[in-house]
Amino acid sequence: MAKFAREVESLIGVKLSASQIKAFQIYENELIEWNKIINLTAIRDVSQIRCKHFLDSLSCWLAFGDRKPKSIIDIGSGAGFPGIPLKILLPKMQLTLVESIGKKAKFCEHIVQTLRLENVTVITARAEEVGKTEIHRENYDWAVARAVAALPILVEFLLPFTRLNGGVIAQKGGNAPAEVQQAQNAIRVLGGRLHQLIPVSIPGVVEERYLVVINKVAPTPSIYPRLTGTPTKKPLL
């Protein structure tokens, strides 16, 4: 893990504590063991877990700037990415993980308990359902997601959760610039404004990576998100 710690510091300028390094080691071990029984991720190699899951998740730090989050909601978090690595980095932060697949949500609950992470909520539900609830709607500093959907769809999942002057981070691959152009109308309708498109170079990852950063500049109209499945079938183009 010493190499991983050096790569974290090189990527985001943060030096991990001994307890944080231990937490990532436990997380890695549990992911590997659970993956033998439950298909949590296609990535099974230790070095690939560290770069394609842990480092990739922590790259969101580059988007925060001086707006370090007190609260994050992670949509479609799968086995906890990027939410749980960010929580390890920011232990006082409130974190909500939304994952519709029960076995993956159960793993997230297990990791939260194993690492004794406080102020973490795991919700087994669709983003469209959770985004309509008063307790979660427009209640977070940041909403984050990766590998969930095309950007015109994804912003309808994310922007309803962020408070005014909050932000959205969508982790994307090499097609991010084209997706941003395609999503301009959806971003505007949902109360957002494109802030940055940040290229990210992850050690050990040859594919292009970007952080699409969107600021929340106006309230999201109450009709959004639409009914479950509708954003995917009829994106706001």
Task: Output DSSP code: residue 203.
Answer: T
% residues pLDDT > 90 (the chain)? 92
- Domain spans in the chain, listed from the N-terminal domain onward: 2-233
Looking at residue 184, its pLDDT comes to: 97
Report the range of poorest mean pLDDT among 36-50, 136-150, 185-199: 36-50
Looking at residue 44, its pLDDT comes to: 83
Looking at residue 26, its pLDDT comes to: 98
Looking at residue 206, its pLDDT comes to: 87
Structure tokens at 59: 């790259």
Looking at residue 204, its pLDDT comes to: 83
Looking at residue 45, its pLDDT comes to: 87
- Please give the CATH topology (third level) of the domain spanning 2-233: Rossmann fold (3.40.50)
Strand partners, 199: 210
Instruction: Note the pLDDT tens digit of each residue in 205-224.
Output: 888 999 999 999 999 999 99
Instruction: Note the pLDDT tens digit of each residue in 1-51.
Output: 999 999 999 999 999 999 999 999 999 999 999 999 998 988 888 989 999
- Quick count: other Cβ atoms within 10 Å of Cβ 137? 18
- Quick count: other Cβ atoms within 10 Å of Cβ 234? 10
Q: How confident is the model at residue 52 (pLDDT cuts 50, 70, 90)?
A: very high
Alpha carbons within 13 A on the beta-carbon side of 27: 27
| Average pLDDT along the chain | 96
Q: How confident is the model at residue 148 (pLDDT cuts 50, 70, 90)?
A: confident
Dist. CA 171–CA 196, nearest whole Å: 12
H or E segment to which residue 81 belongs? none
Strand partners, 193: 215
Averaged pLDDT for residues 125-153: 95
* Contact (CB, 8 A) for 151 and 121: no
% residues pLDDT > 70 (the chain)? 100
Structure tokens at 56: 């990739």
* Contact (CB, 8 A) for 116 and 93: no
Res. 147: pLDDT tops 80:
no
Structure tokens at 75: 């949509």
Dist. CA 122–CA 108, nearest whole Å: 7
> Can you state the percent helix, strand and coil of the chain, rounding each to 5?
40, 20, 40
Dist. CA 72–CA 87, nearest whole Å: 9
